[in-house]
Structure 1
Amino acid sequence: MNQGEWSHPFGANALTDGVSCSRGGDTSTLPRMDDAAGRVAGNEMRIGVCILDKRGTVVATNGDVQGFLHPLQKLDTWPSILGMYSSKACARNQVSFFAQRMEDASRQRMSVEIELNRALQLGQFCLYYQIQVDRNSRPIGAEALIRWNHPTRGLIGPTQFIPVAEQSSLICAIGKLVIREACKQLKEWEGDVNFGHLVLAVNVSARQFQQRDFVESVCRIVHEYKAPASKLKFELTETTIFADIAGTAAKLLQLREIGVRFSLDDFGVGYSSLLCLHDMPIDQIKIDRSFVNNIAGNAKSEAIVRTLISLSRELGLSVVAEGVEREEQRQVLDNMGCPLQQGYLYNVPQAKKEFLQTVLRLNASRSPLPAERGSSCAAIFSSS
């Protein structure tokens, strides 16, 4: 390749003799003693080698390999690949060195992927439900959360495997499984006097949502189970929405036609929140737990939450405050007129049987409605 094709001065000077590639453009430069620099493209890789002295001066390239067989024998393309992608993950145009921990992490990730594939085939995933309640502690729905029922390690939470799944197509298969199970459950509850009103919220990853057949897949699942789509709600992050604004809006509108509703997750932490509310057919916002955590006694957090609740009311949106763990938080949110809440104060995520028992218990012990107690509290917004 020509020197002008290199994006790094070091590569242009040191590897003009030894690097060639027919396509692609990923470059890794490693200026240390006995290090190799490589360029990866698709399934092809050719390594250019340079030997440096302690000052970083090139003393030999791979045109002089006969005198440097020992370092060449140690050369492996995999460390070069790992170093390159480590550099790209941090930022472009920088130097990264291979470390053993990179390979260890990579092998661990591959091991988890293999197990996740097996778990999908064997049906080891299940849904847990974290209840959402209104201001009178009446259950109005739940967030459906995936759990991995591992045969030897027991129940595994999503933080331990979802990050790995999101780096591969596995997140799409897992996400489709969650939607399928949610629709199946909604159909089972339909018409039930105790559970028929419940709305299930499902988290949708960016990678899953960006699939070309996402809308078609959801419509097919809803039709298959004859599920009440108006009780199905997808939680999307701002990152997901702004990956493709026009495409996202089109998908949301298509799904709204069959009744699906949408919640903007972790609201308040993104830089484009107001644009989301202005341009996207969103039905609900979830106030991020970072604001809720400090709401009791923190004037800034209190002002932000109060403003978000007021803004949502003006826009006709529902609001859920997530991460409610203490009674004082509940009281502050209640005084602000926050219509819906979710958090450990009401219950941890539960298996289906325990969740339904919680719903029955809260229904039996609920506070009277505002109209029943003669209160002039703000109206409670529907989450559907």
Structure 2
Amino acid sequence: MIDKQHIIDRFVSYVTIDTESDPKSNTTPSTEKQWDLANKLVEELKAIGLSDVTIDENAYIMATLPSNVDHKVPAIGFVSHFDTSPDFTGANVNPKIIPNYDGNDILLNKEEGIVLSPDYFEDLKLYIGQTLITTDGTTLLGADDKAGICEIVSAMEYLIQHPEIKHGDIKVGFTPDEEIGRGAHKFDVEKFGAEWAYTMDGSQVGELEYENFNAAGAVVTVKGKIVHPGYAKGKLVNSMYIATEFINSLPRLETPEHTEGYQGFFHLHNMKGAVEKTTLEYIIRDHDKSHFEARKEVMLKLAEELNTQYEKEVINIDIKDQYFNMKEKVEPVMHIVDIAEEAMKQLDIEPIIKPIRGGTDGSQLSYMGLPCPNIFAGGHNFHGRYEYVPVESIIKATQVICKIAELTAEKYSN
């Protein structure tokens, strides 16, 4: 039996350490404060009894729980990230514990009138009667992905305390900077030594994902020409108007707020403009590789058309691929998904197999030679003040890790 209060205490000890990453930094980790939790985790992994606990110069943490069976079992891994998103502050996190949630509004912050309501966040209704951990309305919580770290550490501790549960070698990996897309960039797959792994970085209980977006970033630079407006006829070129033409020429309904499931999108997430120069920053996403390539081509052709229309190069586009759909790397080894699905079923958890509308360390790791599906960590409403996680979900994810380890050893026992 996994102790509930122990889980709460461990999770709270993680989220109250600020580990926000910084996309503008060129260092790894991108912020010095990530070392605070990283160093704590190293000591904790040693304290619970793991072997080969290491942390490198970039704060990548690895450890091993040695096999307790005589037969050969493939080494498997579990991976989570300890940074939090720069989308919303992670400083001075003050978690609120809501025992026996009654299904009504939760007042997060009386002074600012911030309410977590099931009328808006309907998933709350799934957790009536459970213990929720929420924010105080002024920060994010950090369940993304400190819930995943809590689950992995707790599972390793439980397996050490219960040697009757048989398993092969289990590798643990914790990474910095996942939230800024660099979590796997310096991950040493060979050193890690696992044949496959799972990221514990999903949301709702039961989520099991082995498909994610193909992703690219596009910077659109529009050039204009400033002339005194009183004498501007035939001379002034306003880059902001041309940028508006570009924006409005892309499919209006192919944006995040109008898409779901496997549907891709163009997302304008930043814009800075003046007459002489306007910069648009887009992300391009699609699960289908051919559609993904077509989206990039649409943007390039649109720029070409506008340059022809204005009879000069007014628009320049720089498109860079970011990550790709892990499905291509996981499908040839689908037994690793099957084991996770069976683990959930044996724990009476209904598997929810669906595509990730985003990215994951698992995508990059899969292309680096470590097939790595994603499993639920339990949190909801990531990257903002309404983030919460049910304690029972953390416990269930911890149990799934233990069961995967057990089933893997059983599968290779003959």
Question: TM-score, structure 1 length as denominator?
Answer: 0.24
Higher RCO, Cα 8 Å, sep 6+: 2
Please state which structure has a larger fraction of its residues in helix: 1
